[in-house]
Amino acid sequence: MNRPFIIASRESELAMWQAKFIQNKLEKLYPQHIFNIQGFKTQGDIILDQPLANIGGKGLFIKELEQAMLNGQADLAVHSMKDLPMDLPDGFELAAITEREDPRDAFISNKYNSLELMPKNSIVGTSSLRRQSQIKYYFPDLKVLPLRGNLQTRLQKLDDQQYDAIILAAAGLIRLGLKDRISAFIDKTLSIPAVGQGALGIEIIEGNQTMHEMISPLNHHLTAQCVKAERAFSRILAGSCTVPLGAHAYAQGNNIVIQGFVASPSGNRMIKEEVVVPNDQIENAGTLLGQKLINLGAKDILNTIE
């Protein structure tokens, strides 16, 4: 019998849910094969006492998984697309992007029903410069403090009253059956999502035609096109964990709408715009939006960050 295929994943409960989700899909497609999951602890999971932007950014969540593939310990890796750096290292490829779950940010609080109802000086926890900058821009009277750890750890910190509210990706809560913890979904006009938020990506060794052909049926064309447009936007603005920006693309009739912003970490400055293109021009949408923000002065904001 052929050896099992190994799916590499981070060890958090949410990451394992995502890996099992892909495992189930593959088992249904290929009942003649066995797919096992191997968990790995990444540097992003180990270093929890510093903001992600200060310790190397998104790549800290995937390096160990990529090394496992290089070493022959795994055949594919499952990632949250929002954790995937804009440029993959040489030798790897993104074989599929799955259909997106709800891309919005979620407001979670045991005291209040929305950001708008929080009193002055209330404490909001978030690990994201993107969220931080938007909260500070729209709600300057709130205090934003760092929040690291896996999803359950963050919820526990809220329950321990270290924060008055926290902001998390809605998709993760929904996937783990924790939708009832969501006090409110934050409108995308107030919190433009992270690039790729809500979608999963499957990474393989570049040129592995067998794996590419096996994984390709899991690719959701519209989601993949939208996420690629968002990533193009981020790439043109040098997007990373050290740059507060976000982008979200979605279908609207026969058009694709992509909204994006870039801001200073303090929230004092923000440039936000959108671009609408026909469906067949989606590959240009992210670049057009990025250039539009640059023309409006985005580079001035980026230069102050650097």
Cα-Cα-Cα-Cα torsion 129, 266, 248, 226, nearest 10 degrees, comes to -60
Q: Looking up tokens 């205090």, which residue turns up? A: 143
- Cα(115)–Cα(107) distance, rounded to whole angstroms? 7
Cα-Cα-Cα-Cα torsion 214, 226, 107, 18, nearest 10 degrees, comes to 0
pLDDT of residue 149: 84
Answering whether pTM is above 0.85, one says: yes
pLDDT of residue 131: 95
Catalytic residue, candidates 45, 75, 83, 102: 83
pLDDT of residue 304: 79
**Element at 255 (helix H, strand E):** strand 255-263
- Cα(253)–Cα(279) distance, rounded to whole angstroms? 9
- Cα(243)–Cα(264) distance, rounded to whole angstroms? 8
The DSSP-derived string for 56-85 is: TGGGGGTHHHHHHHHTTS-SEEEEEGGGS-
In DSSP terms, which residues pair with 185 in a beta bridge?
Answer: 106
Would strands 92-97 and 245-252 be described as parallel, antiparallel, or unpaired? unpaired
In terms of phi and psi (left: phi > 0; alpha: psi -120 to 50; beta: otherwise), the region of 291 is: alpha
Q: What are phi and psi of 194, to 5 degrees?
A: -70, 150
Check: CB of residue 108 under 8 Å from CB of residue 157.
Answer: no
pLDDT of residue 202: 97
Cβ-proximal residues to 238 (8 Å cutoff; 6+ apart), any chain? 302
Domains, the chain, ordered by start: 5-99+199-219 (3.40.190.10), 105-185 (3.40.190.10), 229-305 (3.30.160.40)
> Long-range contacts of range 16-20, CB-CB < 8 Å, 24 or more positions apart?
17/175, 17/176, 18/78, 18/80, 18/175, 18/200, 19/78
Low pLDDT (below 70) residues in the chain: 1, 42-61, 239-241, 306
Instruction: List the structure tokens of 198.
Output: 């809500």
Buried b (16+ CB within 10 A) or exposed e, 140-173: eebbbeebbebbeebbebbeeeebbbbbbbbbbb
pLDDT of residue 100: 97
pLDDT of residue 60: 58
Q: Is 187 in the active site?
A: no
Q: Which of 195, 169, 164 is nearest to 182 (CA)?
A: 169
pLDDT of residue 43: 60
Cβ-proximal residues to 215 (8 Å cutoff; 6+ apart), any chain? 26, 76, 95, 96, 202, 204
